[in-house]
Amino acid sequence: MIRLFESGSIMQYLVEQYDTEHTISYPKGSRESYEVNNWLFFLNAGVGPMQGQANHFFRYAPEKVQYGIDRYQNETRRLYRVLNKHLEAANTEYLVGNKCTIADIAHWGWIAAAGWAGVDIDEFPVLKAWDERMLGRPGVEKGRHVPTPHKMKAMLQDKEAMDRAAKQASDWIVRGQKEDAKK
């Protein structure tokens, strides 16, 4: 029995087991394969945790803590600058070459939700172009609506909808924290 519980290791496992034709990966041991792993680790150790904290302090925390908001939004921006500079310097369509890989797929959900964390994607023009290129892929368009319709991009255009969603999520988080404290 294999016990997988961390998203990065789950993605690596799925690619290794099921992407034998390297549709969203590169052959194991190749330079590109190692680079894909770099970007998966960058996501799992950087973008995900930092943007997740930006989301929490900006949208969900029951009281606004400006230090937390600033700290995590600025760190998310720094990580976005790394991605933006990399894509610009590499002059490729995707994170590793001109092939959409698991690293791109894994990053896309976070980048698509930049505004939810209070980060303006327009600050990062090359990353924004990558985001639009990803959204233009039929597989991304289809997959982003599983299991429910992905409404983030539309919601970011509607402040009232964002406020309602943030309030609902915040209430759920606070309720969960109270329940966990009783255990």
Angle between helices 48-55 and 66-90 (to 10 degrees): 140
Tens digit of each residue's pLDDT (9 = 90 or more) over 54-101? 999 999 999 999 999 999 999 999 999 999 999 999 999 999 999 999
pLDDT, one tens digit per residue, over 142-163 is 999 999 999 998 999 999 999 9
Alpha helix (H) residue ranges in 19-155:
31-42, 48-55, 66-90, 102-112, 125-135, 138-143, 152-155
Q: What is the pLDDT of residue 20?
A: 97
pTM, 2 dp = 0.94
- Indicate the length of the chain as a whole number: 183
Among 9-23, 37-51, 96-110, 147-161, the minimum mean pLDDT is found in: 147-161
Q: How confident is the model at residue 127 (pLDDT cuts 50, 70, 90)?
A: very high
Measure the CA–CA gap between 39 and 34, rounded to whole angstroms. Answer: 9
pLDDT band at 168 (very low <50, low <70, confident <90, very high): very high
Helix (H, G, I), strand (E, B) or coil at 25: coil
Task: Give the percent of the chain with pLDDT over 70.
Answer: 100
The answer to whether the CB of 51 falls within 8 A of the CB of 72 is yes
Return the pLDDT at 61. Answer: 94
- % the chain with pLDDT above 90: 96
